[in-house]
């Protein structure tokens, strides 16, 4: 009996220390896409600030492949101790849902402990300046006149940059070839070189290139104009009524990560996103902080996966890693 009491007291004395002592060493933040994309850029902002705040390295580890599925599945299987985090996005969780819940009944909390959304910026329909179109209406006319003559780059099958293009083709009744990459960063490189014609790109990836005139933005994919690009019309108002597509970026940990650690991470990241210079930095990238509680973020992810899964099923799209 005394041994049981002693064991119980030991457990009670050590449990609160989990968050109090966290982090005691370096943290790995998995980014399931190549460097240079929206997930990577925002992840590095958060990682740098956490490192400065806690005095422990937060190291970015890019694990691209399978539309974000490789890195996402690796993070899901990591030890749930708070020392492996996942900077995820719409596409990464779509890839995870295809592999981890192939029957379509995806519940993010079975595989991850959501921490907070970081941002949900509108995507931009960005084209190479050599493409002879100055509006969405002209782009649609060009695509209809020459089916499959245009190509768009994406960060992989099932990612937001891909599904935004699928939805566009469905609504506009056009055929545009998708060229999948391991992240939006490499896709933007080929867009600049004219090897692809266009992208549905997060603003965080192409903002500086638009300012320099190296790329041209025809529209934003959100329902309303972005305050960061007030001169750029929405897809809906410039030739395709009813179209809307928004991606998101956020931080998660493996399922069963202690709640006190998840809550500590949430408080830290939310505080970081409230800092003036972080807000200004993100604004230059065309994004603004959109923090949420862990529970609210979980609900958002599940609803978003369900929405895009319906489109994937309707269009007969196979997500890389499905069934694995």
Tens-digit pLDDT profile for residues 92-129: 888 777 766 666 678 999 999 999 999 988 899 999 99
* Cβ atoms of residues 94 and 118 within 8 Å: no
Please name the residue ranges forming H helices in 25-135.
Answer: 38-54, 69-76, 90-100
Fold classified for 27-120+248-315: D-Maltodextrin-Binding Protein; domain 2 (3.40.190)
User: Which helix (H) or strand (E) is 112 found in, with range?
Assistant: strand 112-119
* Over residues 261-269, mean pLDDT: 97
pLDDT at position 18 is: 66
Residue 147 DSSP SS3 = coil
* Cβ atoms of residues 60 and 29 within 8 Å: yes
* Cβ atoms of residues 82 and 253 within 8 Å: yes
User: Which helix (H) or strand (E) is 209 found in, with range?
Assistant: helix 203-211
Q: How far, in Å, CA of 324 to CA of 319, rounded? A: 11
Q: Where in the chain is the domain with CATH 3.40.190.150?
A: 27-120+248-315
Pick among 3.40.1710.10, 2.60.40.1180, 3.90.550.10, 3.40.190.10: CATH of 123-238: 3.40.190.10
Q: How far, in Å, CA of 114 to CA of 99, rounded? A: 18
pLDDT at position 160 is: 87
**Pairing state between β 177-180 and 58-62:** unpaired
User: Residue 296: how many CB atoms within 10 A of its CB?
Assistant: 13
User: Residue 61: how many CB atoms within 10 A of its CB?
Assistant: 16
* Over residues 283-304, mean pLDDT: 92
Residue 96 DSSP SS3 = helix
Give the pLDDT band (50/70/90) at residue 76.
very high
Residue 265 DSSP SS3 = helix
pLDDT at position 2 is: 45
CA distances from 36 to 62, 78, 185 (A): 10, 24, 4
Q: Where in the chain is the domain with CATH 3.40.190.10?
A: 123-238
10: pLDDT strictly greater than 60: no
Give 70-73's long-range contacts (Cβ < 8 A, gap of 24+): 70/32, 70/321, 71/30, 71/31, 71/32, 71/33, 72/30, 72/32, 72/96, 73/99, 73/100, 73/321, 73/324
Instruction: State the average pLDDT for the chain.
Output: 89
User: Residue 25: how many CB atoms within 10 A of its CB?
Assistant: 8
Q: How large is the angle between the packed helices 90-100 and 294-315, nearest 10 degrees?
A: 70
87: pLDDT strictly greater than 70: yes
Give the pTM. 0.84
pLDDT at position 285 is: 84
């Amino acid at each position: 009996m005394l041994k049981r009491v002693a064991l119980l007291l030991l457990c009670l004395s050590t449990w609160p220390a989990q968050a109090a002592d966290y982090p005691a060493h370096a943290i790995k933040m998995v980014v399931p896409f190549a460097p240079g994309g929206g997930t990577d850029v925002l992840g590095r902002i958060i990682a740098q600030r956490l490192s400065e705040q806690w005095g422990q390295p937060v190291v970015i580890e890019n694990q691209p492949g399978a539309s974000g599925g490789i890195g996402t599945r690796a993070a899901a299987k990591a030890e749930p101790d708070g020392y492996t985090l996942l900077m995820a996005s719409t596409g990464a969780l779509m890839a995870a849902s295809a592999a981890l819940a192939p029957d379509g009944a995806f519940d993010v909390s079975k595989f991850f402990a959501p921490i907070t959304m970081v941002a949900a910026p509108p995507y931009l329909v960005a084209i190479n300046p050599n493409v002879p179109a100055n509006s969405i209406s002209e782009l649609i006319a060009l695509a209809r006149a020459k089916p499959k003559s245009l190509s768009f780059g994406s960060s992989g099958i099932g990612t937001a940059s891909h599904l935004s293009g699928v939805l566009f083709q469905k609504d506009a009744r056009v055929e545009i070839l998708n060229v999948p990459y391991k992240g939006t960063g490499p896709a933007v490189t080929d867009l600049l070189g004219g090897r692809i014609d266009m992208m549905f790109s997060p603003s965080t990836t192409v903002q500086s290139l638009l300012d320099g005139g190296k790329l041209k933005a025809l529209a934003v994919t959100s329902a309303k104009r972005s305050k960061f690009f007030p001169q750029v019309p929405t897809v809906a108002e410039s030739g395709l009524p009813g179209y809307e597509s928004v991606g998101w970026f956020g931080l998660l940990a493996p399922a069963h990560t202690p709640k006190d650690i998840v809550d500590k991470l949430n408080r830290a990241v939310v505080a970081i996103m409230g800092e003036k210079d972080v807000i200004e930095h993100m604004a230059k990238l065309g994004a603004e902080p959109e923090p949420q509680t862990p529970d609210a973020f979980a609900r958002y992810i599940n609803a978003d996966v369900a929405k895009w899964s319906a489109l994937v099923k309707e269009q007969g799209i196979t997500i890389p890693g499905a069934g694995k």
